[in-house]
Amino acid sequence: MARYVLEVMYDGTHFHGSQLQGDTPTVQLALNHSLSTLLREPIITFGASRTDEGVHALCNFYHFDTAKELKEQFLYNLNSILPFSLSVKNIYAASSDFNARFDAISRTYRYKIYSKKNPFYYNRALYYPFKLDKEKLHEAASILKKHTDFESFCKRNSQVHTFQCNIFESYWEEYADQLHYVVKANRFLRGMVRGLVSTQLQVARGRYSVEDFITIIEAKDCTRADFSVGGWGLYLENIEFPFSILDCIS
């Protein structure tokens, strides 16, 4: 039995999230069905990072096992039957104990907003036509790197054993006519990035002070944070693994 890893990208508009939910259209379901069809055996994939409904991914990874040897042509064949909104970028061979979720050492997310109506950004970024204090945005983003407990930014009923996350990067940047929030951490909680973005935007609009923002973090209470921004502005941008853990075959 060999273990393979798919590096994928997808438009989250057409999926109800990445994780398997019965027969509901998800990224994992599409991968399972397509792989099972090509390999003519039941295949179950396991993802590196879960994304919610509407969230996009420029990079996500799924591992699976099969006794069959995959050739370079398999990448083309797989993409030919996957939905148009989902594509496999690369296929890797991995050791039998590789785990896409637990072997990842960091994940990077990017949230995009724009202030002037643009039909080409629909379902690709958040339309947010409000005046923002960018200095407060930068200050709030920097503060997050000083904390490790993010229970306040985890949605209710999340089945996790710890709310501890190590944030390596957290900053806002202007990109053309958009404003982007970039955050990199070893792990993320359910709804965490959207909670961070939405609450920071409330600070930038003057609804919360920077001191209020710190209080919300330290409260460890998700009812104190704001989760109102939509998923369509969020992108899973990168996932890192230890060097040379994967061997690209196509």
| Domains annotated on the chain, with CATH | 2-103+242-248 (3.30.70.580), 129-228 (3.30.70.660)
Catalytic residue numbers, as ranges:
52
**Phi/psi of residue 179, nearest 5 degrees:** -120, 125
> Model confidence over 100-155: pLDDT tens digits?
999 999 999 999 999 999 999 999 999 999 999 999 999 999 999 999 999 999 98
pLDDT tier for residue 248 given thresholds of 50, 70 and 90: confident
User: Which residue is associated with the tokens 């919610």?
Assistant: 52
In whole angstroms, what is the distance from residue 60 CA to residue 51 CA? 9
In whole angstroms, what is the distance from residue 45 CA to residue 139 CA? 40
pLDDT of residue 49: 95
Tell me the mean pLDDT in the region 196-224: 97
In whole angstroms, what is the distance from residue 192 CA to residue 198 CA? 10
User: Which residue is associated with the tokens 């002070």?
Assistant: 209
